[in-house]
Amino acid sequence: MTHVVTERCVRCRYTDCVAVCPVFCFYEIEDPSALVIDPDTCIDCQACVPACPVNAIWFQGELPPEYQEWIGLNRRLFPGGVNILEPKGPLPTAVDRQEIQARERARGWTITEPSAAES
């Protein structure tokens, strides 16, 4: 299994995860504007999970049902992206974790945060 970047990254694209990834498995994509993980490169070290300010990254085995489609999206989209090796600023449309969680609640979702995320 691997780690998966979810919809929480869309229109935010924080790159704190890139700074801690030892194998450079993150790819920047434009449609949607986000990061995704090359699942064949990811070594499941979990360093990226607590680094993400919006908790957009989960271990595949813990991925909430609402984000299951992102397993396939990461695999399908990373080849069309640009391998990102250095962190850079988030998108101007970036929001914080509380805003993302409020949007999820508005959709009727109750998402448990990734277990490897810092409190």
CATH number of the domain encompassing residue 86: 3.30.70.20
Residue at 118 is within a domain: no
* Amino acid type, 46: Q
Is the per-residue pLDDT at 11 higher than 90? Answer: yes
Residue at 119 is within a domain: no
Give the pLDDT confidence score for residue 97 in this predicted structure: 97
The pair of structure tokens assigned to 42 is 């990811």
Q: 69 and 28 in contact (C-beta within 8 Å)?
A: no
Residue at 111 is within a domain: no
Q: 82 and 27 in contact (C-beta within 8 Å)?
A: yes
Q: How far apart are CA 91 and CA 8, in angstroms?
A: 13
Percent of the chain at pLDDT > 90 equals 97
Q: Which residue has the tokens 């999820």?
A: 104
Terminal alpha carbon distance of the chain? 24
Residue at 70 is within a domain: yes
Give the pLDDT confidence score for residue 73 in this predicted structure: 98
Q: 70 and 7 in contact (C-beta within 8 Å)?
A: yes
Residue at 27 is within a domain: yes
Residue at 9 is within a domain: yes
**Total structural domains in the chain?**
1
29-61 residue pLDDT tens: 999 999 999 999 999 999 999 999 999 999 999
Q: pLDDT band at residue 118, thresholds of 50, 70 and 90?
A: low
Q: What is the mean pLDDT of residues 114-119?
A: 80
Beta bridge partners of 26: 37
Bigger pLDDT: 54 vs 118: 54
Residue at 79 is within a domain: yes
Residue at 112 is within a domain: no
DSSP H/E element including 73: helix 69-77
Q: How far apart are CA 33 and CA 29, in angstroms?
A: 6
Give the pLDDT confidence score for residue 93 in this predicted structure: 96
Full residue range of the structural domain in which residue 52 is found: 3-106
Q: What is the pTM of this model?
A: 0.95
Q: Mapping DSSP to helix (H, G, I), strand (E, B) and coil, where does residue 18 land?
A: helix
Q: pLDDT band at residue 1, thresholds of 50, 70 and 90?
A: confident
Is the per-residue pLDDT at 119 higher than 70? Answer: no
Beta bridge partners of 71: none
